[in-house]
Chains A and B, each alone.
Chain A
């Protein structure tokens, strides 16, 4: 069965009312969390993980996909009207979009963001549909050595790109790897990093770590800052939420360029959604006939980055579904959801759970349409969300976080762990350490160790297996280059400046 037939079967399932309702709910909740600053899709999906005990897998993944895409749409509203990016991927939208809102063109900014998100999201999903089977075919040839090297590449790449310093990123990653190793070693049965606590034998629950780091940590940081109760000025939505002929003319090329920048970068191990939005913004700035408007509210500066972040969101799903490698915090949480259903993302997922995967991909197309319909008419409702007083918003977030964790185990130890991770998240935020490498290290650490052990067992303890197998060696070379090249380039620049 080729990709198109499989996709059509996916549509048949995704369009059933019982599944469609999950997609609709996901889009609604996703837009809501995208609008609210400080709450992202990773946290929301993590909070909803306890539902995986009750709800069917298809419904939950359609819900999560809706949340993921919805957050990308919703983030633009906050950026444009509040000048506060709801999502890190909408930082560039805040630069130009808020300037447009100040000049009475908020409606046009929201419209180009929504239409661009729809077009690029759809292009990204088409690319995901037709490229995934190729990646799966290649990945089926991977052995444990190649998988280990690929995980090393993913870990290194995420660390090198996220955050303001590679050193801090690497410290965060190593801390995540250590947390991931806690509990009983499945191969030898020996307890590791348990501090003699029986509760630690099962290891650290991913949900607890994610909710603690994102929800509790972020709320604690905002409470410490004390600025959340004095929020930025909210601009009244002015102008019709539609585009003029000139706006269309100036937007369509940035939408397409954004989509073609966003998808490939999003699907790379460290691509994420932040890098393509930056790249798209600077590309538009370079190519625009209205360079003088940049920084003062250029519509191209909203259209391009918004398209890029939605296409990148589809791209991030490709390594997750085809290789089982999460390249962002949200993807890591979705991976945990797969695991809680006893499913293992990777090439075999397409053969063993083809129905589920293609329904998920079909739901992304449907989600894009739902979001386009939802986003523009309901913009007034999203704006009203921003008026929820901070004390009630964050009290609610902490109560729901505690309920999610307590409901899973009814254990005070797990609550302590939750708040402990919250404290760690606060410290990371306070001292500018990136959290995503920690989460990805936590989830990829045990998987990488397992691949390492399998590879060494097959090679009878010969460590050269990682460099003598051509594919594995090539992947490791890329990982080393990613670590070393930025430092070398910086050193070269510094030397040049000194010589000058």
Chain B
């Protein structure tokens, strides 16, 4: 499965190499040569990987003994991914603090924190602390803490 995915990604890279425009400027080495060589090399390596995986010479999914995921791994991963997407989608609309609170709560939940007020309050404290550290102390622009409240630093 992994080998197939890798080969598909090589296909995408090869397509991107074919759409690099030809430069009107003269250059001893054009813009396409190195990307084409690297993509070709990657394709070859992935092909070898696929063949070895098919022959069971390389394990397609390595998990060391004693390191297997505990039950509920996909649920935890879903919480984590959801937290990342929620933060990305909402940060421009809700401001860093609220979006950060939801994101942090999602990540905490992915690490088995119970769903509840305590988790939300802890997440709000983390998001606010880092906003203050970056925006107020270091002067990095994260936007207002919530829309319309708190100065945007520059």
Contacts and interface: CB of A to CB of B under 8 A. Distances in A.
Verify that A and B bind, or say they do not: yes
Interface of A: 50-51, 53-54, 165, 167-168, 170-171, 174-175, 177-178, 181, 185, 187-193, 195, 216, 219-220, 222-229, 389-392, 394-396, 398-400, 402-404, 406-408, 410, 412, 415-416, 419, 422-423, 430-432, 445, 449, 452-453, 456-457, 460-461
Given A192-B35, A195-B16, A399 B84 contact: no
A408 B141 CA distance: 8
B29 A453 contact: yes
B136 to A, nearest CB: 12
Contact of B25 (A188, A228, A389, A407): A188
Given A224-B76, A395-B107, A431-B62, A407 B142 contact: yes
A409 to B, nearest CB: 10
A195 B74 CA distance: 30
A389 B114 CA distance: 13
Given A181-B35, A395-B104, A398-B83, A224 B130 contact: no
Contact of A460 (B28, B48, B84): B28
B65 interface: no
Given A399-B104, A403-B131, A431-B60, A167 B73 contact: no
B126 A406 contact: no
A50 B142 CA distance: 12
Interface string B53-88: 000001011110001111111001101110111011
B60 A453 contact: no
Given A187-B31, A403-B100, 19 more contacts: A167-B48, A167-B52, A167-B58, A189-B25, A190-B21, A190-B31, A193-B35, A195-B16, A223-B107, A226-B71, A390-B111, A394-B111, A399-B104, A402-B87, A402-B100, A403-B134, A410-B143, A456-B29, A461-B28
B2 interface: yes
A188 B38 contact: no
- Shortest 8 CB-CB contacts between residues of A and residues of B: A188-B23, A391-B113, A391-B108, A226-B70, A407-B140, A174-B42, A432-B62, A395-B104
Interface residues of B, number: 77
Contacts of B81: 220, 419, 423
Contact of A415 (B34, B69, B88): B88
B103 A430 contact: no
A222 B73 CA distance: 10
Interface string B97-115: 0001001110111111100
Contacts of A390: 111-112
B107 A219 contact: yes
Nearest to A222: B111
B19 to A, nearest CB: 9
A32 to B, nearest CB: 15
A402 B103 contact: yes
A188 B35 CA distance: 14
Interface string B108-145: 11111100000100110011001100110011111100
B8 interface: no
A187 B127 CA distance: 43
Contact of B30 (A188, A412, A422, A445): A188
Interface-central residue, B63, B88, B89, B122, by most chain A CB under 10 Å: B88
A412 to B, nearest CB: 6
B45 interface: yes
Contacts of B13: 178, 193
B109 to A, nearest CB: 8
Contact of B21 (A191, A225, A391, A394): A191
Given A398-B83, A453-B27, A226 B73 contact: yes
B31 A185 contact: yes
Nearest to A429: B62
Contacts of A452: 29, 34
Contacts of A220: 77, 80-81
A192 B13 CA distance: 10
A167 B49 contact: yes
Contacts of A227: 67, 69-70
Contact of B45 (A170, A187, A229): A170
B127 A406 contact: no
Nearest to A193: B16
B72 A178 contact: no
18 contacts: A171-B42, A178-B38, A189-B23, A193-B35, A216-B84, A220-B77, A225-B67, A226-B69, A390-B112, A395-B105, A395-B108, A399-B130, A403-B134, A407-B134, A445-B38, A449-B34, A452-B29, A460-B28
Nearest to A174: B42
A426 to B, nearest CB: 8
B91 interface: yes
A479 to B, nearest CB: 14
Contacts of A226: 69-73, 76, 112
A390 B111 CA distance: 7
Nearest to A423: B81
B119 A431 contact: no
B61 A192 contact: no
Contacts of A415: 87-88, 91
